[in-house]
Amino acid sequence: MKNTLPILAGLLALTTPLAAVPAPKPDIVFILVDDLGRCDPGFMGGKDIRTPNLDQLAGAGARLDRFYVQPVCSPTRAALMTGRYPMRHGLQVGVVRPWARYGLPLEERTLPQALREAGYSTAIVGKWHLGHYEPAYLPTQRGFDRQYGHYNGAIDYFTHERDGGFDWHRDDRACHDDGYSTHLIAREAVRLIREQPRDKPLAGVGRQPE
Amino acid sequence: MLGANLNDTAEAEADAAARSEAARNPRRPTVELFNLKRDPAEQKNLAGEQPEKVKELRARYEALAREAVPPKAGPKPPDFLSPKAWGE
């Protein structure tokens, strides 16, 4: 009797892959919030800012309270996009400034590239901040099927300018939608989710400007 | 797990980051070593008792720092002009 269990387990291991259907691909919505204090949202004890929807998500899901990010924007995004520490790609110091002649190195394989290979449609809504020096650095060249929002940090919420240059784009072409940037970003994110075909998984990164 | 903030007096001479930290916090001990498992609030500085551990962690820190790609960030070129639209 003692020896039968391992054999049974072995048989199961052999037959399971044959009978298995492909694992379902859940839709993925990743909200990256800039300049959010650890204790700002209600579910972390914050009282000054009302965050009922985030609180509801946190209440129904997992809270990772030892999940650390880099202290500023571009290094955090570089790490998220590549799964590698920013000191591996030279993005460990500060943010990608408007005049930077670099971005996330082009030889890096990105998360949306991998998700696209896995059958996902991919979209980024909000801030990119990983370089715009050449077209090759822009989001639609780095794995995103769709892009909406801005490349630099600290754009004007209404004119969508940074240092005198226009910085509002759809699919990496200048886009002259009028409005408060945060509202435009939210509207686009909702639209993408609503219009996504049911049979195609969506992976989106929503990023509110600071 | 052991954590260390290693700005030994001698090393601080050679280490600009440690020098500025020492200037900001003159009353802070120059070397700090904590057992984060037993002492997560970092109350008991073990650096004096465990110089070998300080040396070991310092070497590990420096080895990791040597793996870093040089940062790409740089100052704004004086002749830089914003484009009409970014990314074009």
More confident residue, A68 or B45: B45
CA distance A47 to A55: 12
Which two three-digit tokens encode residue A35?
């300049």
* Contact A148/B at CB under 8 A: no
Nearest CA in chain B to A175: B85
Look at B86 and A94 and tell me if their CB atoms are within 8 Å: no
A18-39 pLDDT, tens digit each: 556 777 889 999 988 888 888 8
Q: State the best of A88, A124, A163, A168 to mutate against chain B, taking most chain B CBs within 10 Å.
A: A163
CA distance A90 to A71: 15
Q: What value does the CA radius of gyration of chain A take, rounded to a whole number of Å? A: 21
Residue A11 in any domain: the answer is no
pLDDT at A43: 94
- Secondary structure element (H or E) that encloses residue A10, with its range: helix A4-19
Residue A130 in any domain: the answer is yes
Non-local (6+) Cβ contacts of A200 within 8 A are A119, A120, A121
Q: What is the DSSP string of A160-202?
A: -EETTEE--EETTEE----S-HHHHHHHHHHHHHHHS-TTS-E
Kindly provide the residue ranges of all beta strands, DSSP E only, lying in A10-145, ordered along the sequence.
28-33, 121-127
Could you state, in order of their start, the residue ranges of all structural domains in chain B? 2-67
CA distance A170 to A140: 10
Arithmetic mean of pLDDT, B25-52: 89
Arithmetic mean of pLDDT, A109-114: 96
Which two three-digit tokens encode residue A83?
């799964």
0.80 cut: is pTM over it?
A: no
Written as one letter, the residue type at A84 is R
Written as one letter, the residue type at A57 is L
Written as one letter, the residue type at B77 is P
Which two three-digit tokens encode residue A101?
């002649």
Residue A188 in any domain: the answer is yes
pLDDT at A35: 80
More confident residue, B28 or B88: B88
Q: Is A129 a catalytic residue?
A: yes
Q: State the best of A87, A95, A147 to mutate against chain B, taking most chain B CBs within 10 Å.
A: A87
With beta carbons under 8 A apart, name residues in chain B contacting A90: 69-72
pLDDT at B15: 56
Q: Active site residue: A129, A150, A160, A169, which one? A: A129
Look at A99 and B83 and tell me if their CB atoms are within 8 Å: no
Nearest CA in chain B to A134: B87
* Contact B79/A at CB under 8 A: no
* Contact B23/A at CB under 8 A: no
CA distance A37 to A115: 29
- Boundaries of domain holding A135: 25-208
Residue A128 pLDDT > 60: yes
Q: State the best of B72, B79, B81, B88 to mutate against chain A, taking most chain A CBs within 10 Å.
A: B72
Residue A10 in any domain: the answer is no
With beta carbons under 8 A apart, name residues in chain B contacting A98: 82, 86
Look at B73 and A94 and tell me if their CB atoms are within 8 Å: yes
Residue A6 in any domain: the answer is no
Residue B19 pLDDT > 80: no
Task: Respond yes or no on whether ipTM tops 0.85.
Answer: no
CA distance A56 to B74: 42
**Which residue, among A175, A120, A130, A135, has the nearest Cα to A153 in the 3D structure?**
A130
Look at A132 and B71 and tell me if their CB atoms are within 8 Å: no
Q: Is A90 exposed, middle or buried (0-12, 13-18, 19+ CB in 10 A)?
A: middle
With beta carbons under 8 A apart, name residues in chain B contacting A89: 69
Q: Which among B82, B85, B87 has the least Cβ separation from residue A138? A: B87
Cβ atoms within 10 Å, residue A54: 19
Arithmetic mean of pLDDT, A91-113: 94
CATH number at residue A102: 3.40.720.10
Q: Is A160 a catalytic residue?
A: no
With beta carbons under 8 A apart, name residues in chain A contacting B72: 90-91, 93, 100, 102
CA angle A152, A202, A104 (to 5 degrees): 30
Number of domains in chain A: 1
Which two three-digit tokens encode residue B61?
């820190």
Non-local (6+) Cβ contacts of A11 within 8 A are none
